[in-house]
Structure formats: C-alpha cells, structure tokens
C-alpha cells in the first residue's frame, strides 16, 4: 500500500513542508504502508490549461506537467492532504492540483491534516465536499495543527495530543485503504 502525503501550499516559506515532514516521520515505522511526501510546488502546475475536462480526458493530458502529476498521483492507493486554510477555505494551488486530474483520485482514500490559525478545520470541511465528487473515501477523523500554538519560534513542535491524533488518523486511513482496495472504482 502506497500513501502520498500531499503538501498543498506552494507559498515560499510554507509551513506545510514542516507539517508534511512530520507526518512522514510519524509514519516511518508503519509496515502496512509506505508514505511519501509530494510537494505540489515541485510539479509547477499551470492553472487549469487543459482543453478537455479532466474527467473526460482518459489521462490523455496535453501539458507534460499535468502528465507528470497524473503519473505521480496514479501510483498511490491513498492520500494525506496537508491542507492549509486560506480565507476560510482550501488553498487555490491545491484545489487546482486536484481539479486538473480526476480518475487518478477516484475511488481512493484520503485523510486530512489541516493547519491554520484555527487548525485548518474550515479548509478540511470544504475538502470533504470536494473529494466526494471524485468518489473518494475520507476518514472521519482529522488532525488540526494550530499555526499560532504548534510552531513556537517558527518550528513545528507537535504536542503529545497532536501526535496521538495523527496516529489515530493514519490507523483509520490504512484500515480504510486496505478494506477498499485500490481503487474501489475502475474509472
């Protein structure tokens, strides 16, 4: 089982990279799955520039960068979205990275590690509606990293409570992914 931890901020100096690295480090000892970090920023995606709607493109994308992103996402069974809250919602960069594909997400699992001044809770709630359109299976629980209290001196210092939350969410994601298989829908 392969899980991608997707860092959904492309902002220079983003805290998301610290959150993604923490999730990966926390998951290192698990033998049920491998966890890898994907930074959306590394893929240099344009704002949706494909003439064909992704759900109808059958993975035949025009832009080589979309194809590279498609190949990467396709290779995973499930995902952890490291989701910043921007203006009470999801980050535009991550929403665009989601929108440019479709079958690569469909029928797979996802868990959320939100972060922001209120733990990214509103962003994650919005993500739940978005991923439902791709028939994804989301874990019930989520992790809420507070950028005001969990980054003393600018460095992520997760509390025991936060670490326990992450353990629970990863347990749930691994169980869900193994029960569903990969992917649940042949699209």
Ligand X SMILES: Cc1cc2nc3c(=O)[nH]c(=O)nc-3n(C[C@H](O)[C@H](O)[C@H](O)COP(=O)(O)O)c2cc1C
Binding site residues, ligand X, CB under 6 A: 9, 11, 14-16, 84-88, 116-118, 147
Pick the closest to residue 141 from 122, 124, 153 (CA basis). Answer: 124
Nearer to ligand X, 92 or 185 (CB): 92
Nearer to ligand X, 118 or 141 (CB): 118
Q: Minimum distance between the CB of residue 95 and ligand X, rounded to whole angstroms?
A: 13
Q: How far is CA 5 from the centre of its chain?
A: 6
Nearer to ligand X, 85 or 104 (CB): 85
Find tokens 């203006």 and name the residue: 87
Residues 6+ apart with CB under 8 A from 65: 43, 44, 45, 46
Nearer to ligand X, 9 or 177 (CB): 9
Own/partner long-range contacts of 96-99 (Cβ < 8 Å, ≥24 apart): 96/45, 96/47, 96/48, 97/6, 97/8, 97/40, 97/43, 97/45, 97/69, 98/130, 98/131, 98/134, 99/48, 99/54
Q: Minimum distance between the CB of residue 9 and ligand X, rounded to whole angstroms?
A: 3
Pick the closest to residue 115 from 136, 94, 137 (CA basis). Answer: 94
Nearer to ligand X, 15 or 131 (CB): 15
Q: Minimum distance between the CB of residue 85 and ligand X, rounded to whole angstroms?
A: 4
Cα–Cα distance between 32 and 144 in angstroms, integer? 24
Q: Minimum distance between the CB of residue 144 and ligand X, rounded to whole angstroms?
A: 10
Q: Minimum distance between the CB of residue 58 and ligand X, rounded to whole angstroms?
A: 33
């Amino acid at each position: 089982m392969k899980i991608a931890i997707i860092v959904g901020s492309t902002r220079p100096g983003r805290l998301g990279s610290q959150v993604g690295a923490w999730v990966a480090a926390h998951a290192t000892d698990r033998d049920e799955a491998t966890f890898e970090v994907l930074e959306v920023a590394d893929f240099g995606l344009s704002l949706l520039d494909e003439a064909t709607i992704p759900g109808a493109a059958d993975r035949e994308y025009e832009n080589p960068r979309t194809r590279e992103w498609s190949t990467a996402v396709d290779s995973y069974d499930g995902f952890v979205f490291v989701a910043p809250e921007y203006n009470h919602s999801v980050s535009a960069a991550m929403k665009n990275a989601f929108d440019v594909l479709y079958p690569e997400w469909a029928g797979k699992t996802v868990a959320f590690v939100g972060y922001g001044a209120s733990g990214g809770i509103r962003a994650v709630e919005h993500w739940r509606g978005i991923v439902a359109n791709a028939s994804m299976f989301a874990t019930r629980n989520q992790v809420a990293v507070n950028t005001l209290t969990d980054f003393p001196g600018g460095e992520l210092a997760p509390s025991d409570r936060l670490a326990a939350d992450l353990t629970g969410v990863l347990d749930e994601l691994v169980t869900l992914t193994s029960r569903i298989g990969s992917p649940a829908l042949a699209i």
